[in-house]
Amino acid sequence: MKKLIALVLSLIMVFSLSCAIAEGADTKGTGVALTIYTNSGSSGRADWLTQRAAEDGFKLAILEEGAGAVQQRIIGEAANPICDVVFGLNAIIWNDLISRDLLVPYAAPSWADEVSAGLNDPNGYYYAIVKQAILLAYDANQVSEADAPKDWLDLWNDEKFYGKYETQIKLTGGTTRNVIAGVLCRYLDPNGELGVSEEGWKQMELYYEHGTLAESGVDLYAQMINKNSPVLMGQMWSSGVTQYDATYGVKSGVAIPEVGVPYAVEGVGIVNGTKNMEEALRFIEWFGSAQIQGEWAEKFGTMPANEIAALKADAVQQQLCAIPAQNIDWAIVAEYIDEWCEKIMLEYMP
């Protein structure tokens, strides 16, 4: 009962603060320093956001790591939080952080109704900003559509793809974990090991047995264009396709499995224990607005969850994010993903 009362009081306080804040991109920062954690700060994103936010009065310190690493950092700092706002992540991690009472629910920002239905957390712990389709991409300059894989399972069940696809060494990244979830969720079995059937684990064993391990510090697309590398395909998030094609001169093709593809819904939330609640609310009101998310989409080729900002997304993103979503039980994934990754590392990784 005390916990419930505290939650209600917290919501009242946050709602009161949010009502006093200007709407959308008209919101200005007050110069109070915010610490931001994200897995979506690579390829210049963190630098751009820091500079763009400063133009509107926000002072940001952004720490960028893989989604799993961000998750573990927030968990490890629970007793003495450093982070104010976290953005990016995916349904697996959002659910875990909520279950650990590490996020604060807050009143819907003015732009929340502009977000595609079903993407915001119904209890107000996070609001969606970006949709990312998690894809199996290949270099269409070297692999024709007719010869390309149609699904992840083709990679290790068809000899012509052996050694030509990249597998990951680090399993803390959100993209990697979504790929793993997309495979293992096809073989869920309440009587199986860690909720997965024997056949499911056999598929994961073959995945690593016939793949080529990622080289630390080397992008997938750098491998694709390297004449000395056998790698021609691997995991990629949808907003990365346009960016990496331009950087490396690759023409991406993507597999479209009959079961669909996993989607990572990136959101923005407030860490429980922040001492900068009002500025955190101001930042979220600004960052998730159609104006700023539209600029973000134009700069980095993302697909905004905000339907007004989505009009700024390029044609490639519109096409990629029209691929049907795979039906994945994210609650089961959140429950088992750490143990799944541990088993993979101990038993299947070369």
Task: Reduce the secondary structure of the chain to three states and give it as a string.
Answer: CHHHHHHHHHHHHHHHHHHCCCCHHHCCCCCCEEEEEECCCCCCHHHHHHHHHHHCCCEEEEEECCHHHHHHHHHHCCCCCCCCEEEECCHHHHHHHHHCCCEECCCCCCCHHHECCCCCCCCCCCEEEEEEEEEEEEECCCCCCCCCCCCHHHHHHCHHHCCCEEECCCCCCHHHHHHHHHHHHHHEEEEEECCECHHHHHHHHHHHHCCEECCCCCCHHHHHHCCCCCCCEEEEEHHHHHHHHHHHCCCEEECCCCCCECEEEEEEEEECCCCCHHHHHHHHHHHCCHHHHHHHHHHHCCEECECCHHHHCCHHHHHHCCCCECCCCHHHHHHHHHHHHHHHHHHCCC
Model confidence at 223: pLDDT above 80:
yes
Q: What's the structural domain count of the chain?
A: 2
Model confidence at 2: pLDDT above 50:
no
Answer yes or no: do 203 and 237 share one domain: yes
Answer yes or no: do 194 and 334 share one domain: yes
Model confidence at 267: pLDDT above 90:
yes
Residue 21 pLDDT level (bands cut at 50, 70, 90): low
Answer yes or no: do 109 and 77 share one domain: yes
Answer yes or no: do 201 and 112 share one domain: no
Answer yes or no: do 236 and 337 share one domain: yes
Answer yes or no: do 113 and 203 share one domain: no
Answer yes or no: do 23 and 81 share one domain: yes
Answer yes or no: do 148 and 113 share one domain: no
Answer yes or no: do 300 and 329 share one domain: no
Answer yes or no: do 232 and 315 share one domain: no
Express each pLDDT in 164-201 by its tens digit.
999 999 998 889 999 999 999 999 999 999 999 999 99
Express each pLDDT in 89-114 by its tens digit.
988 899 899 999 999 999 999 999 99
Answer yes or no: do 190 and 335 share one domain: yes
Answer yes or no: do 156 and 46 share one domain: no
The residue segments making up the domain with residue 151 are 133-262+324-347
What's the CATH number where 222 sits? 3.40.190.10
